[in-house]
Amino acid sequence: MTVRFAVSAGARPPEPGRLRELVTGADQVGIDTLWFSDLTVLPSTDPLLSLAMAAAWSTRVKLGTTIVPFGYEPFVFARQIAQLDQLSGGRVRLMLVPGLSQPGERRALGIEGVHRGRTLDELIPVLRALWAGEPLRSGGPALATRPVQEHIQIWLAGKSIPALQRVGRLGDGWRGGGLPPAQAKQAIEQIQAAASDAGRTIDPGHFGLTITYARDEADLGQATRIHGETPRPRAPDIVPVGRDELRWLVGELVAAGLTKFSLRRTSEVASWDDELAWLAGAVLDLQT
């Protein structure tokens, strides 16, 4: 299986200089993918805008968005993703999430009183049909611009039983977060069982995890202060500190059946050039 590393851009307001430093640096050092997350009601840049800028500044690195697909008409959302895939030369990677349930989020997205899981269940087949060139079932038009990729993979997240079953029924891959290796392995087994029940298979190379890491103990302490939490004993199999623990955790996760990793630092990154160089030295030789 192919082990690959991605870097999470984090929650940042629109800062073109920092964004360009991240994108061009990742393109140069060999990071496989950049991920831009959708934090709807926080002061974080819209991931589709970040992805469009990143497409213009890079030629190699894949461009992923972890996005809440609610608040869009399905046709409009499918059109935006298809055109971003054209603009990036087929480098778009997509993970759909139902949101974080932050105060005001559902109202902002227009989904108060809506069951997000069932809505996602209904939306995924519609998006696939539109990207395949089919018109809306309601009799609307087909997309005038289709993606470069013949099949845009839809990855899903979550660790509840319904979320894992959804991956098996509808997803192309899964990326979890905050799970030790044993629990991540159990999640994969649940997904594959749900896929089998639905008459499907999930590529065994399409399982991943977001790893939140600290570069040293001071970094970890800074993170707990930033988030206003009381410092607590860390679990080294969830939040690795330093290069050796990060490499150890990756090895344990690979042994558990995961191959795609998104790396996110616990504290704010001051310099992307420095951070990418550190990550390149820490883990890129583990790519296969």
Q: Which helix (H) or strand (E) holds 36?
A: strand 33-37
- Please give the pLDDT value at position 229: 42
The C-alpha atoms of residue 22 and residue 184 are separated, in whole angstroms, by: 29
Q: Which fold has domain 4-286?
A: TIM Barrel (3.20.20)
The C-alpha atoms of residue 56 and residue 248 are separated, in whole angstroms, by: 36
Q: What letter does residue 27 receive in the DSSP assignment?
A: H
pTM passes above 0.85: yes
| Pair 263, 251: CB distance under 8 Å | no
Regions of the chain with pLDDT less than 70: 222-237
- Please give the pLDDT value at position 110: 75
Cβ neighbours around 16 below 10 Å, total: 10
- Please give the pLDDT value at position 106: 76
The C-alpha atoms of residue 71 and residue 109 are separated, in whole angstroms, by: 5
- Please give the pLDDT value at position 210: 95
Angle at 36 between CA 30 and CA 42, to 5 degrees: 150
Report the sign of the C-alpha dihedral through residues 243, 246, 252, 254, in that order: negative
SS3 151: coil
| Pair 147, 130: CB distance under 8 Å | no
Domain ranges (residues) in the chain:
4-286
- Please give the pLDDT value at position 199: 98
In degrees rounded to 5, what are phi and psi of residue 188? -60, -45
| Pair 187, 245: CB distance under 8 Å | no
Distances (CA, A) of 72 to 68, 97, 109, 217: 9, 14, 8, 42
- Please give the pLDDT value at position 283: 97
